[in-house]
Amino acid sequence: VKQIYHCFGCGVGGDVFKFVMEMEKCGFPEAIRLVAEKCGIAVPPPRERSPEERRENQQRTALVKMHSEAAAFFARQLETTPEGKAAHAYLEDRGLDQEAIVRFGLGYAPSGGDVLLREFRVKYAEKLLGVSGLFSTDASGRLYDRFRRRIMFPIANESGKVVAFGGRALGDDMPKYLNSSETPIYSKSAVLYNLDKAKEALRQRDFAILVEGYMDTIGVARAGHANVIASCGTSLTESQAKLLGRFTQRVVVNYDPDSAGQAATERSLTLLLEQGFDVRVLQLPGGKDPDNFIKADGAAEYAKLLGASPAYLDYLIARARQTDLTSGEGKLRAVNFLMPYLQRIPNRLLRSEWATKIAEQLRIEEPVLRESLKRAAVERRSNVQTNPELVARAGKPAERRLIQLLIESDDFRQRLAEAIRATDLHRGLETEQILAALVESILSGGRPDPADLAANLDERHRRLLFEIAFESGGAASWEEAESCLRALRRGQVDAELAALQKEIEVQAASKSPESSEALRSLLQRKQELTKLSQGM
């Protein structure tokens, strides 16, 4: 039993844990727990490697508990104190009813500087309070409540555990929004607000609505769109994009329409495109953010505009057209603005169609735009040097069969691996990474397991490995292995002959004495290779 899976539709493959991770959109530790529960196996707690690690784990556990208690404290303050009731009235004026307040766990931080501190000092050590993100330190080193006279928004991790807070000031206090500082359980760049509540909707609807802040998230969710998440007041980070990518690859960016929101949109677009997302942009009319738009124009109108959200390049073209296109300088600025996004389109045909559309809408001569695009493509490819002659040999039957033989043939696996390493036959093949990993594993004394090997391969090679491992090659023999080795050697010789022929033509065109000597040497080598090729 191979104990791996491979989807012949999308090419994804792996072991049982990868399968659970894909289906449940969870991390590896969670996948282990789910598989263990399904099989009725008790999972022992992770071993701590050192006293320091034990202390860190205990600290994180205590901080999670502290934040859960803080959320309950803020909720009580909102509901039971005179100050809290005034804050409650403010929320009602903003259109939030009791159901929304409870659903999103909203609370209130009182104006006194030590109300939460006094409650927690009897439960937690001073050192833990200092690193919790819930308190700040004055000039003399004394702690005081970080959040005062603020509406409190609990920020949970993907598992639903509160790890931080965002506080919205009442009145004219500054800053308007204040977040928890970075702590052992919270990194602002790695958490998406409302993801814990949006996970199921993201799976069902297969797209996310990305907004800037807490009130926008709550407003959009209450309008019937549970698949909304927020980047917590900043443009998206790489960590946040990777986290979101576990649940969906489709995003509608709906940041505020002001200049800061437009800049954040463009930064997020760059990151999302690099991560392979299908991106649309919703820019609401009237200069309104999502929450205010829904209140003024209604949930139905928001849903209508959401459904008609333009593709990201349509949005960018509209932005580029705000430039003065009557001058050459203006057109150049527009092209320079669009080109970084256009060159990130991986599909050549789609890239060409968008180039035509951009040329038409900006009234730019299409050949000029295509020349710019061609230069951008050269720059894009320059980071990955490939040999066209070798790429043409990718995935030949001999390569694929050798991979199968290395995985399955107990009788001569070691001998085959030694032969490949001794002759470097795998160099330059598209399967080089897979063959190198197999050879290394075997010569290190291991029995190659595709699932283990896949952990050290990039996504493209992982898919290729599982695809090949699932193919049925029939009974194995050393004679077949030798035949595959000869086929790869012939490929190497043919490639060298082709390169030699080009060099011979160059030297033959030159009349210098040095060229004559070089030509004789090249012709001698060609004769040797031709003889070798004929004997294979």
User: DSSP letters along 406-469, please?
Assistant: HHH-TTTHHHHHHHHHHHTTTTTSTTHHHHHHHHHHHHTT----HHHHHTTS-HHHHHHHHHHH
Report pLDDT digits (tens) over 514-525.
667 777 777 878
Extents of the domains making up the chain: 5-39, 54-186, 190-310, 316-381, 390-534
CATH of domain 190-310: 3.40.1360.10
pLDDT of residue 389: 34
Report pLDDT digits (tens) over 134-185.
999 988 989 999 999 999 999 999 889 999 999 999 877 778 889 998 999 9
Would you say residue 370 has pLDDT above 80? Answer: no
User: 100, 62, 98: which is closest to 197 by C-alpha?
Assistant: 100
Q: How many CB atoms lie within 10 A of CB 181?
A: 15
What is the sign of the dihedral through the CA atoms of 325, 329, 332 and 336? negative
Q: What per-residue string of b and e applies to 247-261 under the rule 16 or more CB within 10 Å gives b?
A: bbbebbbbbbbeeeb
Structural contact between residues 143 and 126, judged by C-beta atoms closer than 8 angstroms:
yes
pLDDT bracket for residue 1 (50, 70, 90): very low
> H or E stretch including 144?
strand 143-145
Mean pLDDT throughout 304-325? 89
The pairing of strands 250-253 and 208-211 is: parallel
pLDDT of residue 305: 96
Structural contact between residues 230 and 220, judged by C-beta atoms closer than 8 angstroms:
no
Crossing angle of helices 238-245 and 259-274, rounded to 10°? 60
pLDDT bracket for residue 228 (50, 70, 90): very high
pLDDT of residue 327: 75
Mean pLDDT computed over every residue of the chain: 82
pLDDT of residue 184: 93
CATH of domain 54-186: 3.90.980.10
CA distance 119 to 535: 87
373 or 97, higher pLDDT: 97
Structural contact between residues 138 and 120, judged by C-beta atoms closer than 8 angstroms:
no
Give residue 375's identity as a one-letter amino acid code. R
Structural contact between residues 3 and 16, judged by C-beta atoms closer than 8 angstroms:
yes
Q: Which one is the CATH code of 316-381: 1.20.50, 1.20.1530, 3.40.50, 1.20.120? A: 1.20.50
Would you say residue 438 has pLDDT above 70? Answer: yes
Report pLDDT digits (tens) over 334-360.
888 888 887 777 667 777 888 888 888
CA distances from 345 to 169, 199, 338 (A): 42, 28, 12
User: 286, 282, 265: which is closest to 225 by C-alpha?
Assistant: 282
pTM for this entry: 0.63
pLDDT of residue 363: 79
**Tokens 């894909």 sit on residue:** 22
Angle (nearest 5°) at CA 506 between 501 and 510: 140
Give residue 121's identity as a one-letter amino acid code. R
CA distance 159 to 149: 29
Would you say residue 279 has pLDDT above 60? Answer: yes
